[in-house]
Amino acid sequence: MIICSLKDGKLQVIDRLKEMVRLAAGLDHNRHLDVGAQERALACLERFGQRIRDFPPNSVSIVGTNTLRMAKNAQQFISKAEHALGHPIHVISGIEEARLIYQGVAHSLAGSASKRFVMDIGGGSTEYIIGQQNVPQTKESLNMGCVTVSQNFFKQGKISKKNFRKAVLFAEQRLEPFQDRFTSRHFDEAIGASGSLKAISSVIQAAGWSNNGITMEGLEQLVATLQTLTHFEQLNFPGLSIERRPVFIGAVAIIYASFKMLNIKQMTVSDGALREGLIYDLVGRIYNDDIRSITSQTVAERYHSDRQHSERIKQTLRCMVQQLQDHPCFHDNPTSLQFLEWAADLHEIGFEIAHSQYHKHSAYIIENGDLAGFSQQDQAILASLVKSHRKKFSSARFADLPMPWRQHVPVLVVIFRLAVLLHRNRHAVLPDFRIDIEGQGVHLSFPEAWLEQSPLTQADLEQEIQYLQEARFQLAF
């Protein structure tokens, strides 16, 4: 955890907390997170929660990474963890994790026009990124980490040359499909960003095998030394903490394979990584520079959506939300309007696949795509809005969403459906109209005689009464 103060647009770190829980070690063969790992993590998060429980909601960003992506019972654990922290947890994709890591590294280094290769070894995944200045250009996340490799190839802490070769071969096999994309001819400098890589750098430099970060020569000497040992308990290197010993050799296997496959000669280590990337992402949201808004517009352009039509819908949504600002959906949840606007950007991207059932195609792309800035929960919320914006919809569709979205999204769907319906002819200017929502009742008021002059809109609204009744909403106009 990292805590910063923000004054005049400048960040100052005021607290850093870190505990090694090794959540990935708790995943069994059926991808269930065992009780012991959950208890270790929850004990840690209780302590973290004491520090942040009273922080305003929009000032805290918490993410889960590979282990929570993999675990089948992740949601059960997340519910307990959110209670311990007092704030929601967002599970992010590997590609989103890579983007955030690069942001953290880029902001922690002096500005440079050179191309950077960034690597981060986590407990269950390793991220590879190439970028320039603050922009990540090539990103990948592989399912191998210091915890999982150490567990799978060095069981009960036993070390041997044979097992080390197997671990390195495993990492090389995982990296092979991406070797050409990340080979050293594509970048000018290599940067490591994780506790594992910091530990490897510290060990190599303390032993005198390198005087500038991690080098191939230093790694060769470290590997040769490791292969003379027989157990984790013999890892008594200066610069290596006792807590990191059980996962150290797995990290060495991954970095050694990466250096060989990508022809890396030397790597410096950055202080910035995922936590710092989250902080800068959060600052962007505070200053209305939300990467998610840029992403929604970029994706809409990629799928050739009608931008003018989307903007008309967004303008109507803003007018409706202004009238409904005291409704709990907006009063208690200030990001609701953002989700409606992103839905307006993306609701027609499915046309690129097929006109029939295009809303389902749109929702599928949203839920399964790599959308920069969006967590898996964000994408599920947005996909629910888009999938339900036309034809039949059922409130049961939202049962798996986290609170308060489970209660709010059905109402947001009603608002979005009406905004899209009123712009069905794609060009007419709407008159000033009123909307009111109380409980399950929705009321629209239009200027006198306007509906008589808009018989198609009136017919659409009459059909909408039937659709909304199935979702237990009563529409009157």
List, for residues 241-250, the tens digit of each pLDDT value: 999 999 999 9
State the pLDDT at residue 403.
85
**Judging by beta carbons within 10 Å of its beta carbon (0-12, 13-18, 19+), is residue 343 exposed, middle or buried?**
buried
List, for residues 77-87, the tens digit of each pLDDT value: 999 999 999 99
- Count Cα neighbours of 357 within 13 Å in the Cβ-side half-sphere: 3
Contact by Cβ (8 Å): 340, 412:
yes
List, for residues 47-75, the tens digit of each pLDDT value: 999 999 999 888 999 999 999 999 999 99
Residue 347's identity, in one-letter code, is H
State the pLDDT at residue 134.
86
Q: How many other CB atoms are found less than 10 A from the CB of residue 2?
A: 18
The answer to whether residue 396 scores a pLDDT higher than 90 is: no
- Could you say which DSSP state residue 426 is in? S
State the pLDDT at residue 289.
82
Residue 9: band (very low, low, confident or very high) from pLDDT cuts 50, 70, 90: confident
State the pLDDT at residue 435.
97
C-alpha 343/C-alpha 413 separation (Å) is: 10
**Judging by beta carbons within 10 Å of its beta carbon (0-12, 13-18, 19+), is residue 189 exposed, middle or buried?**
middle
C-alpha 227/C-alpha 245 separation (Å) is: 15
The answer to whether residue 181 scores a pLDDT higher than 80 is: yes
Contact by Cβ (8 Å): 337, 256:
no
List, for residues 344-392, the tens digit of each pLDDT value: 999 999 999 999 999 999 999 999 999 999 999 999 999 999 999 999 8
Residue 20: band (very low, low, confident or very high) from pLDDT cuts 50, 70, 90: confident
C-alpha 145/C-alpha 174 separation (Å) is: 11
State the pLDDT at residue 337.
95
Query: Domains (ranges, CATH) in the chain?
Result: 2-91 (3.30.420.40), 95-271 (3.30.420.150), 290-476 (1.10.3210.10)
Q: How far from each other are the two terminal CA atoms of the chain, in whole angstroms?
A: 51
Per-residue DSSP letters for 177-230?
GGHHHHSGGG-SEEEE-SHHHHHHHHHHHHTTS-SSSEEHHHHHHHHHHHTT--
The answer to whether residue 272 scores a pLDDT higher than 90 is: no
| pLDDT (mean) for 170-187 | 96
Residue 400: band (very low, low, confident or very high) from pLDDT cuts 50, 70, 90: confident
Contact by Cβ (8 Å): 259, 309:
no
Helix or strand (DSSP H, E) at 90: strand 90-91
pTM over 0.75: yes
C-alpha 17/C-alpha 48 separation (Å) is: 8
Taking CA atoms, 78 is separated from 63, 68, 88, 276, 375, in Å, by 10, 8, 9, 22, 14
The answer to whether residue 416 scores a pLDDT higher than 90 is: yes
State the pLDDT at residue 111.
66
C-alpha 250/C-alpha 164 separation (Å) is: 9
State the pLDDT at residue 329.
92
List, for residues 422-466, the tens digit of each pLDDT value: 998 887 789 999 999 999 999 999 999 999 999 999 999 999 999
The answer to whether residue 284 scores a pLDDT higher than 90 is: no
The answer to whether residue 142 scores a pLDDT higher than 90 is: yes
The answer to whether residue 477 scores a pLDDT higher than 80 is: yes
State the pLDDT at residue 22.
87
- Count Cα neighbours of 375 within 13 Å in the Cβ-side half-sphere: 20
Question: What residues contact residue 108 under an 8 Å CB cut-off, 6+ apart?
Answer: 270, 271, 272, 276
Residue 315: band (very low, low, confident or very high) from pLDDT cuts 50, 70, 90: very high
State the pLDDT at residue 350.
96
Question: What residues contact residue 328 under an 8 Å CB cut-off, 6+ apart?
Answer: 404, 407, 408
Q: Specify the pairing of strand 63-64 against strand 90-91.
A: parallel
Contact by Cβ (8 Å): 246, 123:
no
